[in-house]
Structure formats: structure tokens, C-alpha cells
Amino acid sequence: GIQVEQSPPDLILQEGANSTLRCNFSDSVNNLQWFHQNPWGQLINLFYIPSGTKQNGRLSATTVATERYSLLYISSSQTTDSGVYFCAVDNAGNMLTFGGGTRLMVKP
């Protein structure tokens, strides 16, 4: 099956800093999503981005499908950005394969 690797596994930032999270995948995909999991376990949709670039406020994402990677940018980080960020891909029909996640801690 498809493999998904996320880096870095852990990230500590000072409030106001910027960061880039990376997601590499091993095969072509028809779905790529970025999620934020909060401390209560809720998976929040950030982006649906099988290709191209999208922006939503302080967050933006870029997927280069031909090179099999996606990047999530967080600018001017806030303490509420803390949590785990997951990349998930699908190439077999509604079966998301998740990466291991990036655990982000933003310090005030």
C-alpha cells in the first residue's frame, strides 16, 4: 500500500514564529488532506489539496503531485495552533492512509 511520511515528528515554536510541515507519499493520489487534531481528539479539516496551492488565513498548503509531497505552512503561530497535524492520502477509493503526524507545541 501507499506510504506516508511526515516531518518533523515534533516541533516546538515560540508564539509568532513561522513553520513548514512536510508530507511525502509513495504513489500518485486522488485525495490529500491536512488535519489538525486538538487535545480532545477532534480531527479538524484544514485542507483538501490533491494538487496545487491553497490558503486559509495564516495557514497555506502546497501539493506537488508529480514529486509526491505536500507542505503545510503556518505563519505567525499562536498557542491555539498546538496539537498534532496529520497528512492523509487516498489512491484506492476512500481509504485514507495517514502519516505519523507532526506534534506541534507553540509556547507563549
Partner 1 sequence: KAGVTQTPRYLIKTRGQQVTLSCSPISGHRSVSWYQQTPGQGLQFLFEYFSETQRNKGNFPGRFSGRQFSNSRSEMNVSTLELGDSALYLCASSWGAGQPQHFGDGTRLSIL
Nearest Cα to Cα of residue 5 among 92, 66, 70, 58: 70
**Residue closer to partner 1 (CB basis): 2 or 71:** 2
Asked if residue 2 binds partner 1 (CB under 8 A), the reply is no
Does the protein bind partner 1 through residue 90 (CB under 8 A)? Answer: yes
Between strands 10-14 and 102-107, the pairing is: parallel
Residues between 38 and 67 with contacts to partner 1, criterion CB under 8 A: 40-43, 45, 48, 50
Q: Per CB under 8 A, does 35 bind partner 1?
A: yes
Contacts for 84 with CB less than 8 Å, ≥ 6 apart: 36, 37, 101, 102, 103, 104
Q: Is 69 in the site for partner 1 (CB under 8 A)?
A: no
Residues that bind partner 1 (CB under 8 A): 30-31, 33, 35, 40-43, 45, 48, 50, 86, 88, 90, 92-98, 100-101
